[in-house]
Amino acid sequence: MKFTTTICAGFRRPMLARIAVVLLMLVPCVRAIAQPGLAPRETVTFAVTQTTTVGQSVYVVGDLPELGGNDTSRAIKLSPGAYPLWRATVSLPAGRTYTYRFLVRSDGPTQQNGAATTVQGPLVASTAQQPRPTRSKAVWITSAYAQPVLWWRAISPAAGSDFTPVTMTRTTVTGPARSGDRSGEGTFIAWGMHAAGEAFEFYVTDVAQPGSRTPTTGTYATNLDGVFVQDGQMFTYVPAWSVGGARRAYSPSSVPTVFSPQLNETRGYRVFLPRGYDQHTTRRYPVLYMHDGQNVFESGAFGSWNAAGTIASLQASGRMSEVLVVAIDNGPNRLRDYLPSTDSLGGTGRGEAYLSFIRDTLKPIIDAQYRTKPDAFWTGLMGSSMGGVISLQGVWDFTSTFTRGGLLSGAWQTCPNYLTRVRTTPVRAVRMWLDSGDSGTSADNFWLTLGLRDHFVEGSASKYALSGELQHMVGFGQQHNEAAWAARLPDALTHLYPAQEEPSDLLRSVFGPHWDVTGDGVMGIEDLYAQSVQNVPGAGGTRSDADLGGTIDAADAALIERAFRTGETAGMSR
């Protein structure tokens, strides 16, 4: 369950000394797209009554990343929809105490780093603790180390704290193409670190080899609760011994085509497969459809998004779910194809026909030829400029097919009638990424994009929460071009398809139902104690294959007993 908190700072006289009145109200929040696997969050509405002069706006900034991390250039602009009441809703992690303050500053695209005046704060607030699916973290790694030790620490505003060592235990896992250890390597596990849902970083050393370190420089960083590290990559499941990289399923010199009866045109399309597609034959994948396909993976007339390398890197680092991407080439009627029929640009828009082509012609082919998750929940659209416009129409009018939309540098000036429709209809249960640059011609539609964002986050509980269903970003110094979209693509992809959303097969082996002896829905000390007793040879009772080795033996009892003893004060009781 997510909750909504309203934080209001009210002022008796705008121009006199002010005394803030902070009101807290908790009400259930049941709207918008569900996010399975993600850490619990609370939707907070920040509101302040403040008069301003022309060219000024009110912002909120705080010490959480969602509130700009105290960086005023990343402060959240509040919406003046109920002026002089300014407000916006933001999704914050549960169980956090944070500080924030309200600012007034000039609001032009070139003023993002400008001087700001604090009009209220610093204030302190907290989000409520909520149940978490697990209690802590678990890490598996394949390694040639004889006695590996995992060193971890939290990633937080107080970063820089010491790393905590945890001795890893050799274990046996099952998975595709596994018949035994790779030459000289074994699989090891460490658990009981940190709190579930929180970000942490770690590296591994070998007691038997002083100076050894994996990775050789830097750390692994993730907010996954269960992560399997192999060959420098992070997985939410047990991977095959050798995992193929993300790859093109087409030749750039001869892309596959399909005839569209909706458009009366033939279109090329480019399928990009996630890593391990050929090895993990039982896995199915979400699908993201991207427009202007000539520029997505290859370099077109105006440049490239360089999406292939970005996707491969995000998946390897455990930031993005494994997603199948279909890049659809544009055609001779690109402007009309990407424009709703409510508007005209060199002719009436035919966006409905284009979206029908994806839904009724191309998507059935993709779902038949590849192992996809065809449901609307897993299916998204992404594009830039006019591609942003058609992606908005896709998630707004074709919600039964698409529920994730990447709207980069939308050409909102082309569709005023459609934006009126969006503003006058109920919000959809979708997840969206909305952005622009701040430079070049028309500052890359900075103002029009911000106006659309204002409509989405005006503070009503029926609207979207920033860092929740909606994320808005301004690319400082970026113009309306492929280089800018390539730069913002990583954040857009990780918002639309976060890795922690993937159901974690790994966690079943540590925190799964067969470990929850007490039946309270969480893994705790009581469960560990019961498991350790049950697994003592001759003790009777239900015995568990704790290390998933295929047999129930003394190794299972030893593993559970060790976890019980070492985790008793190190996190398993959290």
Domain spans of the chain, in order of start: 2-126, 137-235, 255-438+478-501, 513-567
Average pLDDT for residues 466-489, to the nearest whole number?
95
Nearest C-alpha neighbor of 289 from the set 224, 220, 378:
378
Residue 19 pLDDT class (50, 70, 90 cuts): very low
Report the pLDDT value the prediction gives residue 489, as an integer from 0 to 100.
Answer: 97
Give dist(CA 206, CA 108) in Å, integer. Answer: 54
Range scoring the smallest mean pLDDT among 365-374, 424-433, 555-564: 555-564
Give dist(CA 125, CA 268) in Å, integer. Answer: 52
Residue 572 pLDDT class (50, 70, 90 cuts): very low
Fill in the amino acid letter for 444.
D
Which position has the higher pLDDT, 330 or 558?
Answer: 330
- Spell out the SS3 assignment of 516-553: CCCCCCCCCHHHHHHHHHHHCCCCCCCCCCCCCCCCCC
Q: Are 548 and 173 in contact (CB under 8 A)?
A: yes
CA 66 to chain CA centroid, Å, is 13
Give dist(CA 515, CA 544) in Å, integer. Answer: 8
Hey, which bits of 374-492 come out as E strands? Answer: 379-384, 404-408, 431-437, 470-475
The number of residues in the chain equals 574
Report the pLDDT value the prediction gives residue 561, as an integer from 0 to 100.
Answer: 61
Report the pLDDT value the prediction gives residue 269, as an integer from 0 to 100.
Answer: 98
Please provide the average confidence, as pLDDT, over all residues in the chain.
Answer: 83
Q: Are 450 and 484 in contact (CB under 8 A)?
A: no
DSSP class per residue in 189-204: EEEEES-TT--EEEEE
> CA 367, 369, 375: angle at the middle one, nearest 5?
15
Give dist(CA 38, CA 78) in Å, integer. Answer: 26
Nearest C-alpha neighbor of 169 from the set 208, 193, 141:
141
pLDDT at 28 over 90: no
Report the pLDDT value the prediction gives residue 552, as an integer from 0 to 100.
Answer: 63
Q: Per-residue pLDDT tens for 248-280?
A: 999 999 999 999 999 999 999 999 999 999 999
Report the pLDDT value the prediction gives residue 225, as an integer from 0 to 100.
Answer: 87
Tell me whether the CATH fold assigned to 2-126 matches the one assigned to 137-235: yes
Report the pLDDT value the prediction gives residue 192, as an integer from 0 to 100.
Answer: 81
Give dist(CA 237, CA 223) in Å, integer. Answer: 15
Give dist(CA 289, CA 284) in Å, integer. Answer: 16
Range scoring the smallest mean pLDDT among 360-364, 490-494, 570-574: 570-574
Q: Per-residue pLDDT tens for 153-194?
A: 988 655 567 899 999 988 877 655 444 456 678 889 998 888
**137-235: CATH topology:** Immunoglobulin-like (2.60.40)
Report the pLDDT value the prediction gives residue 213, as an integer from 0 to 100.
Answer: 96
Report the pLDDT value the prediction gives residue 506, as an integer from 0 to 100.
Answer: 77
What is residue 289's three-state secondary structure?
A: strand
Main-chain dihedrals φ then ψ at residue 286, nearest 5 degrees: -60, 160
**255-438+478-501: CATH topology:** Rossmann fold (3.40.50)
Report the pLDDT value the prediction gives residue 184, as an integer from 0 to 100.
Answer: 78
Q: Are 130 and 96 in contact (CB under 8 A)?
A: no
Give dist(CA 243, CA 245) in Å, integer. Answer: 6
Which position has the higher pLDDT, 478 or 301?
Answer: 478
Residue 131 pLDDT class (50, 70, 90 cuts): confident
Q: Per-residue pLDDT tens for 447-456?
A: 999 999 999 9
Report the pLDDT value the prediction gives residue 536, as an integer from 0 to 100.
Answer: 47
Residue 353 parent element (H or E): helix 351-357
Report the pLDDT value the prediction gives residue 11, as an integer from 0 to 100.
Answer: 33
pLDDT at 221 over 70: yes
Q: Per-residue pLDDT tens for 228-256?
A: 999 999 999 889 888 999 999 999 999 99
Average pLDDT for residues 268-297, to the nearest whole number?
96
- Confidence (pTM): 0.84
CATH architecture of 2-126: Sandwich (2.60)
Q: Per-residue pLDDT tens for 417-428?
A: 999 999 999 999
